[in-house]
Structure 1
């Protein structure tokens, strides 16, 4: 089968992007991540523990695993539907209202199956928002500004994670935490969802055959490094609580995870905007992605060879610096290798599988390493090796410098 190395015809005009649009876009992105991470960081665990205290670990795994599976399926479908409609805003609005409703309803259920069902609905709905927001960037933003806007995209995601966690903790109860997150999802999405779209979605191009994306070489080689880097990151973070408890011997591993998350977030915010703007100015993407991937892998190496609290704090800061630069520049790179301008939503949905699939695969890779193949030092060296492989493979992309 011949390989098609073409990318989407650039249809956005060469001008800039309005500041109000970036602000509304960032607000909606942060709102979606509040809806995701308030439950994932705090609320689901507390709710499941109250329902099934003796089987809380397996019950929470069921809830999050089923939700992640729905997320992988839903994102490309919502993206394809928004491509067909020619609009992104209505899909953001509909997803926010449905997702907020599902979060509010979660406050009322008292069975594990009820939590599974409503969290799945929330995941499906919020992916409608995320698919529309992701595709809006190549629709509305010229190539030479996508690193900067990708930086705001990553910045907003981090603010959403921190805000969602804060709302969940400040609410006082599981029910009030869900309601607070639901309100933020809807209200935060409204400015973007109701704004007039200055540049409409390109006219839909003829449908590709199944697996037709595999014929687009640069798209595949942009997807593979993203998958590997995210897999290495997922492996490194999966057992962080147990690493602090069993390897580092921290007295309060839960508090330790919170502290490391805060250190990571601050470091990420310090680089997420700088990396994107810098890559725009020099006109290069691949070298930034590669260096960022290597820096993230260095954090895993630190955890392997320096199993102390100080080492963990330094590793969290290093990981944040690397991931901040990576998340903005890699998103800009991916938007430049989309195969069809009229199928951006669907294709970015496929790209987003590279973010969610590692969450499913990481336990299968990490558990046997920890149990039988050398424990945490080997686990973190494996994570580093996977990340370095992903960083190196980004140079297989040829149409982007």
Structure 2
């Protein structure tokens, strides 16, 4: 490869450090929200644990929505990502360590709101940093590497729930240490190659000063991710309770291992699919297939008659959804309308991650008590099928506006 060819590509070293830092966000929230929080909520709220978890999720999602946009906008204004990521890291670690001090639901809600704001001080600027320095022909590879994020988050859940390793409250201190170990390397050692063209103002702004409007592909990508994320959010928040309903004797560590197994298998699939998309310039085709398989997995979960079939169907859903979300995250960077407001716009895109947490609790509270998880899964499969249609009927080679 020529020197020019090398210069057009971001270094693998930075991509790996960036992927590790992104995984730090998942390490911060996956074991906390899937294992520690439901268990803590059961202790604080008793029989009302599912409903109380819904309220906590609702207010946490509001905070995450606001934080993603505000801190993204601030990092755009300051034209700097590192200081915001570093400040968010310090606050996130402090709040994780403080969580066991909450001895009632109200206090826990307050801490979670603050924690969500701090976490999105990391995630908003960090997401935009990739858009600043990863060219389009490496975005598939980036998406594949981002599949390590949920996998490492799940592995951390399996680690902190190992019997006898640490107490339930001390789990959060261990999680905080893992988050620091993941995020600090890119802050201290990350030296990405510069790609000035990736930050150039949109042509419409240069020409007449008017703001570029969202493109058709951007709207479709936003809606498709929203629909898939509603399903992912429901399983993410209530996986603990669903596994408990199909196998009451299942240990927390087994729940974490099943979750981590699905996300681990997704990593090589996402890497292969991402590289295929780069080579063939078909950035969105793997998204269509992954969303379709995700819907099939949810139908299988709804119709499963035995715990083994239910767990197998969950693996299909978990793998496909992880591949979809990882590749979607990187390919979104190519269709944002204004590079100079990249972090702010990613904050708006991040609403597809947080708004489902506002919708999902009410769907769950409305359906599960009367009709069970089966009805919920069938509804979520239908929503994901709409996402398949949105992506399958869009142009397969749109470029950034």
TM-score grouping bracket, smaller chain normalisation: 0.7 to 0.9
Q: How far apart are the structure 1 equivalents of 2:48 and 2:302?
A: 31
Shift of 1:147: 0.8
Q: How far apart are the structure 2 equivalents of 1:177 and 1:270?
A: 29
Note the 1:184-203 alignment, pairs <5 A. 184-194=178-188, 195-199=190-194, 202=199
- What is the SS of the residue equivalent to 2:23? helix
8 Å CA contact retained: 1:48, 1:60: yes
Shift of 1:386: 0.9
Match of 1:112 among 100, 105, 111: 105
8 Å CA contact retained: 2:33, 2:237: no
Note the 1:306-317 alignment, pairs <5 A. 306-317=304-315
Partner residue in 2 for 1:79 = 72
Note the 1:125-136 alignment, pairs <5 A. 125-136=118-129
Partner residue in 2 for 1:390 = 387
Partner residue in 1 for 2:231 = 232
Shift of 1:367: 3.6
Q: How far apart are the structure 2 equivalents of 1:153 and 1:366?
A: 29
8 Å CA contact retained: 1:263, 1:316: no
Match of 1:252 among 238, 249, 252: 249
Partner residue in 1 for 2:259 = 261
Kindly tell me: are residues 38 and 236 of structure 1, through their superposed partners in 2, closer, same or farther at Cα, counting changes over 3 Å? closer
Partner residue in 2 for 1:181 = 175
8 Å CA contact retained: 2:75, 2:81: yes
Query: Is 1:93 matched up with 2:91?
Result: no
Shift of 1:344: 0.8
8 Å CA contact retained: 1:219, 1:337: yes
Partner residue in 2 for 1:278 = 276
Shift of 1:275: 1.6
Partner residue in 2 for 1:222 = 221
Kindly tell me: are residues 204 and 116 of structure 1, through their superposed partners in 2, closer, same or farther at Cα, counting changes over 3 Å? farther
8 Å CA contact retained: 2:154, 2:263: no
Shift of 1:82: 0.8
Partner residue in 1 for 2:143 = 150
- Residues 317-341 of structure 1, C-alpha deviation per residue, up to 9 Å, x if partnerless? 3123312431232223211110101
Partner residue in 2 for 1:159 = 152
Partner residue in 2 for 1:381 = 378
- What is the SS of the residue equivalent to 1:336? coil
8 Å CA contact retained: 2:156, 2:175: no
- Residues 187-233 of structure 1, C-alpha deviation per residue, up to 9 Å, x if partnerless? 322221233454378367779xxxx7875332111100111122233
TM-score, normalized by length of structure 2? 0.85
Gaps of 5+ in 2: 1-5
Note the 1:62-73 alignment, pairs <5 A. 62-73=55-66
Kindly tell me: are residues 351 and 278 of structure 1, through their superposed partners in 2, closer, same or farther at Cα, counting changes over 3 Å? same
**CA RMSD between the two structures:** 2.9
Kindly tell me: are residues 386 and 62 of structure 1, through their superposed partners in 2, closer, same or farther at Cα, counting changes over 3 Å? closer
8 Å CA contact retained: 2:295, 2:385: yes
Kindly tell me: are residues 257 and 108 of structure 1, through their superposed partners in 2, closer, same or farther at Cα, counting changes over 3 Å? closer
Partner residue in 1 for 2:3 = none
Note the 1:8-23 alignment, pairs <5 A. 15-23=8-16
Q: How many residues align?
A: 382
TM-score, normalized by length of structure 1? 0.85
Q: How far apart are the structure 2 equivalents of 1:115 and 1:239?
A: 18
Partner residue in 2 for 1:346 = 344
